[in-house]
């Protein structure tokens, strides 16, 4: 496809069938809304929404005339017979993003694309528009399973006999964007930070501009199979982007603290081999801060999107409350209501681990029951993503609990983990036997007592140092994790 081969403007109502995957995602919802507006304006295009959950509230209701929803989980199933009509356009947005295991990434992003490509080829589809990611072109994709999966999926699309267009969006901004929210938290914290040197090039694109490009591509005859990188109007460094976001929130300028990423990326990559996708952010996701993610200029994109939104347009209205101490937290604190209480077995295991850490080998069934009831009878503070990860780490063993507690004392002294440990200690001390054990002095010679005290102090310092080295980079990284990651 070349700029010369494009019509003066895309036709909004060509009578062709369109199949959309990923219709309930962040970008997919805006694409569906753009198609719905066209349908209301008289478009005769028949639209099939190929979705995993046909009951999703994100789907339009009622469906416009000529639209249908077809259930299909591409990670496991081929498109149903008849889902893709001959001569139709397939717009493939479905993807697995965020902190998922590499096997899940490949099952959805590679094997799911393979099934869809084969279905499109067998059905005689006229055009396949595949939404990839700018991350697929990163020079440094180490440990970035999402980027590798997208790159492999691009190869599948390119190797098919179906006329195709690969679209690589940059950072996608707009209402509800996890990327924008994560970067806003970086920019507006009490101590703003930039991961890496901050000199990589970025070019955010508004979700509605991206949706307009995708709908336009689906509405035009396919040209030469090509790859299009789609970005917004403004290109700048990451450090400049954070400065703009800080100013848009009404905060005075402040140079962010630069956090080197070489060591944290390696540490995260090693940790992932042990704990899998349970970390608040992955080593791969940090690749977005060491690679340029601006779009290469392209005449086709310029033709389809001649007046992309500026960064200022995207940031207008993106002003979160800044007043008060809560503004410096990583995210708003959530509360767990009794209706959302955690399973009894999980709380019982948690209490047993906390008891071992606090010096009691085997808590009584009565104490365990009291701890569980305390969580069920009143709302408990959940905190943010990092708080919940600290609690999950503390549950693993007494050693892990000590590491998590040492860091929580410094970074989250009033967070959920410390609150739970205080509750566990109170429950344990309510038992007469444990109370006597805690309060009974152990006589010893003065040199022995001093040696024991020094050993305890040195152990605490060592544990705290280890906790800071291991967990501080994770907390900083969690500030940008948002709901998912910068590009997935």
Boundaries of every domain in the chain: 3-7+15-317, 328-440
pLDDT (average), residues 271-293:
83
In whole angstroms, give the CA distance from residue 484 to residue 171. Answer: 12
| Mean pLDDT in residue range 327-347 | 53
Bigger pLDDT: 442 vs 417: 417
Which CATH number applies to 3-7+15-317: 1.10.220.10, 3.40.50.720, 3.20.20.80, 3.40.50.2300?
A: 3.40.50.720
Does 334 score more than 50 pLDDT? no
Q: What is the mean pLDDT of residues 398-414?
A: 86
Confidence of residue 318 (pLDDT cuts 50, 70, 90): low
Integer Cα distance of 418 and 402 in angstroms: 11
pLDDT at res. 9? 46
* pLDDT over 50 (residue 335): no
Please report the pLDDT score of residue 310 as a whole number. 95
Decide if pLDDT at 482 tops 80.
Answer: no
pLDDT one-digit tens code per residue, 229-280: 999 999 999 999 999 999 998 889 988 888 888 888 888 888 888 777 777 7
Q: Helix 344-357 and helix 365-377: axis angle, to 10°?
A: 120
pLDDT at residue 174 above 90? yes
The region of weakest confidence among 58-67, 327-336, 363-372 is: 327-336
**Exposure class string for 387-402: b at 16+ Cβ within 10 A, else e:** bbbbbbbbbeebebbb
Weakest mean pLDDT among 42-51, 275-284, 364-373: 275-284
Q: What is the pLDDT of residue 483?
A: 40
Mean pLDDT of the chain: 83
pLDDT for position 277: 72
Axis crossing angle, helix 398-411 with helix 344-357, rounded to the nearest 10 = 80
pLDDT at 337 over 50: no
Query: What's the CA gap between 377 and 63, in Å, rounded?
Result: 43
More confident residue, 11 or 116: 116
**Of 18-22, 87-91, 200-204, 344-348, which range is least confident?**
344-348
pLDDT tier, 6 (very low <50, low <70, confident <90, very high otherwise)? low
Kindly report whether the global pTM for this prediction surpasses the value 0.95. no
- 164 vs 193: which has the higher pLDDT: 164
DSSP state at residue 63: P
Q: Which residue has the higher pLDDT, 33 or 467?
A: 33
Q: What is the DSSP secondary structure assignment for residue 327, as one 8-state letter?
A: G
């Amino acid at each position: 496809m070349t700029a010369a081969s494009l019509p003066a403007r895309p036709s909004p109502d060509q009578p062709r069938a369109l199949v959309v995957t990923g219709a309930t995602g962040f970008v997919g919802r805006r694409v569906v809304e753009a198609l719905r507006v066209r349908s209301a304006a008289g478009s005769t295009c028949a639209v099939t929404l190929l979705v995993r959950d046909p009951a999703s509230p994100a789907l339009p209701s009622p469906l416009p005339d000529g639209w249908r929803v077809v259930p299909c989980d591409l990670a496991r199933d081929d498109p149903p017979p008849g889902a893709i009509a001959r001569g139709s356009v397939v717009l493939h947005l479905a993807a697995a993003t965020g902190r998922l295991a590499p096997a899940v990434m490949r099952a959805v992003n590679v094997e799911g694309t393979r099934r869809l490509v084969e279905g499109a080829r067998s059905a005689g589809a006229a055009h396949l528009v595949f939404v990839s990611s700018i991350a697929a072109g990163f020079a440094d994709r180490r440990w970035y399973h999402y980027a590798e999966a997208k790159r492999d999926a691009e190869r599948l699309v390119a190797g098919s006999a179906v006329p195709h267009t690969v679209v690589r969006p940059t950072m996608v901004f707009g209402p509800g964007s996890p990327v924008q929210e994560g970067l806003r938290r970086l920019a507006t914290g009490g101590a703003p930070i930039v991961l890496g040197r901050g000199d990589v090039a970025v070019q955010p694109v508004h979700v509605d501009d991206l949706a307009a490009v995708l709908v336009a591509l689906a509405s035009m005859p396919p040209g030469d199979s090509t790859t299009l990188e789609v970005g917004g109007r403004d290109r700048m460094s990451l450090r400049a982007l954070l400065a703009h976001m800080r100013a848009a929130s009404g905060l005075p300028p402040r140079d962010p603290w630069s956090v080197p990423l070489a060591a944290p990326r390696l540490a995260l990559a090693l940790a992932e081999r042990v704990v899998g996708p349970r970390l608040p952010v992955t080593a791969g996701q940090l690749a977005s801060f060491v690679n340029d993610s601006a779009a290469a200029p392209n005449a086709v994109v310029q033709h389809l999107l001649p007046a992309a939104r500026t960064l200022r347009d995207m940031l207008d209205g993106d002003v979160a409350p800044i007043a008060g101490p809560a503004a410096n937290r990583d995210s708003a604190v959530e509360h767990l209501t009794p209706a959302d209480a955690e399973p009894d077995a999980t709380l019982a295991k948690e209490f047993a681990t906390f008891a071992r850490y606090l010096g009691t080998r085997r808590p009584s069934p009565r104490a365990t029951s009291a701890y569980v009831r305390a969580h069920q009878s009143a709302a408990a503070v959940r905190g943010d993503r990092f708080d919940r990860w600290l609690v999950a780490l503390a549950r693993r063993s007494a050693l892990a609990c000590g590491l998590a507690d040492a860091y929580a004392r410094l970074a989250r002294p009033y967070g959920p983990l410390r609150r739970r440990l205080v509750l566990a200690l109170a429950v344990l001390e309510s038992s007469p036997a444990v109370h006597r054990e805690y309060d009974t002095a152990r006589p010893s010679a003065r040199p022995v007592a001093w040696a024991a005290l020094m050993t305890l102090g040195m152990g605490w310092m060592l544990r705290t140092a280890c906790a800071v080295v291991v967990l501080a980079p994770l907390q900083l990284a969690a500030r940008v994790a948002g709901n998912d990651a910068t590009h997935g």
